Amino acid sequence: MFDIARRTALGAVLLLLMPAAVWISGWMWTPGGDPAVLRPLYWVTETVSEPWGILTTVILCGWVLWCLRFRLKPAAVLVVIIVLSLLAGQYVKDFIKGEVREPRPYVAWLGADHQMNIGEFYALKNKARARQVKDILGDNAQIPHWLNKSWQNDTGYAFPSGHTMFAATWALLGIGLLWQRKHYKTVTVLMVWAVVVMGSRLMLGMHWPRDLMVSVGISWLLVMLACWLTERYVGPLTPPPAEKREISERE
């Protein structure tokens, strides 16, 4: 378990590098980014948003189980542990958001540049917030139509980032579950995907760098718990001798 903690902690540090660098640099989100850059980032962020996040979970669960070659019963238990870890992250996110109540960057911009009362905005129900965003922006040329719609669908608080927590949890689960079986390509893809998801949240005006950093820390704690539960109720994450031979042949 110590080796898993060490590897996943290193993975968390790697995920923290980008938002930490952005925070230190003093970069602040402003509207009017290049749509050619923002649109692909929007597609990436949608892999985590509802309902596509469910499909992402199904695909990644299937791939992880294929990599691990678990029998039916331990595979089912592992899926339950993974799903509960993801759901726990979203529950923690919702609880903290309700306590901290930090406005999103785009909401702060609407308050500063469009004289919107942020306190009154967050006192409204979600549908009323969406209508207010739509009414204020109108046909604002700085904001693409698809980003306008995205903001209308995501009017909650900023801190922490649920999208980051979802992607970072999957990336660190990849390290915890698959690294010892030498599925390095899968781990690399998950890590890169998580970093791009995090970057998309910054570039689309949804989060501040500190939101991402705290989310990565929470994800690491959840992954540590998930790996401990896996070793306790499913079995050791080190590959058995027969699989070690298969891994050697694969390499």
Angle at 23 between CA 21 and CA 29, to 5 degrees: 115
Name the DSSP letter for residue 114: S
Report the sign of the C-alpha dihedral through residues 66, 72, 87, 5, in that order.
negative
**CB of 27 closer than 8 Å to CB of 210:** no
**Which amino acids are annotated catalytic?**
163, 207
**CB of 175 closer than 8 Å to CB of 187:** yes
- Alpha helices in 104-154, H assignment, sequence order: 105-113, 118-123, 126-137, 145-153
Which residues lie below 8 Å from residue 142, measured CB to CB, with a gap of 6+? 31, 32
